């Protein structure tokens, strides 16, 4: 939350509709989408590769790294609205390998809701919300949630991850290109 507030204060100093701000946001978004795709594709192997080292971290270091992750996610979500999902969960699984995945996912979602609410309210205050676009997104979200939930219970996890990663790579490359 502090990183979100600080990022909003920093964003308020810029003309968010200006060319420079649009370029910075677009490049940041493209980069975060590519990193998210990378984490979706390699998350399991990253966790396997570094699990032993991370299991030996003392609780204080783990706590500090978790706070640093929260700061990073606050900045990324506020600037791009991307990052808390695949990146956050992968790093949390690395830092807290003994915690059940369902608790990590639940904690990450619970973290994402107030974070996104605060970032969204900040963007509303800054005048960077397109209300027509928001309305259309909200109308599409309900059937999307139902359809996505239906697919998620029937499709293999690897298929969902790879499909999503592929879409993120295509969009990320287009934004950076």
CA distance 73 to 119: 11
pLDDT score, position 134: 93
Tokens, residue 163: 């499909």
Q: What is the pLDDT of residue 40?
A: 83
State the CB neighbour count (10 A cutoff) for residue 64.
Answer: 12
Read off the DSSP letter of residue 161: H
d(CA 111, CA 87): 13
Angle at 34 between CA 61 and CA 135, to 5 degrees: 100
Looking at residue 159, what is its pLDDT? Answer: 84
The pLDDT averaged over each successive group of 10 residues in the chain (177 residues) is: 93 89 90 88 83 84 93 90 79 84 85 91 93 93 87 81 88 91
Pull the structure tokens for residue 108: 């990450």
Domain boundaries, the chain: 18-129+157-176
- State residue 83 phi and psi, 5-degree precision: 130, -35
Counting Cα atoms < 13 Å in the Cβ hemisphere of 41 gives: 13
**pLDDT for the residue 130:** 93
- At 98 the pLDDT is 80
Closest CA to 164 of 39, 24, 54: 39
Per-residue buried b or exposed e for 109-145, using 16+ beta carbons within 10 Å of the residue's own CB:
eebbeebeebbeebbeeeeeeeeeeeeeeeeeeeeee
Q: Residue 120's pLDDT is what?
A: 93
């Amino acid at each position: 939350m502090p990183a979100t507030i600080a990022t909003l204060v920093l964003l308020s100093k810029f003309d968010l509709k200006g060319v420079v701000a649009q370029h910075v946001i677009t490049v940041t978004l493209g980069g975060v989408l590519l990193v998210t795709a990378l984490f979706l594709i390699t998350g399991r192997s990253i966790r396997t590769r570094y699990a032993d080292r991370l299991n030996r971290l003392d609780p204080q270091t783990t706590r500090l790294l978790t706070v640093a992750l929260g700061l990073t996610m606050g900045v990324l979500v506020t600037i791009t609205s991307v990052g808390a999902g695949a990146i956050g969960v992968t790093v949390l699984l690395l830092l807290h390998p003994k915690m059940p995945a369902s608790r990590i996912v639940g904690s990450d979602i619970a973290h994402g809701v107030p974070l996104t609410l605060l970032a969204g309210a900040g963007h509303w205050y800054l005048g960077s919300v397109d209300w027509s676009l928001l309305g259309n997104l909200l109308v599409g979200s309900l059937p999307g949630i139902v359809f996505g939930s239906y697919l998620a219970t029937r499709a293999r996890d690897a298929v969902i991850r790879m499909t999503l990663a592929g879409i993120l790579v295509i969009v990320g490359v287009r934004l950076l290109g």
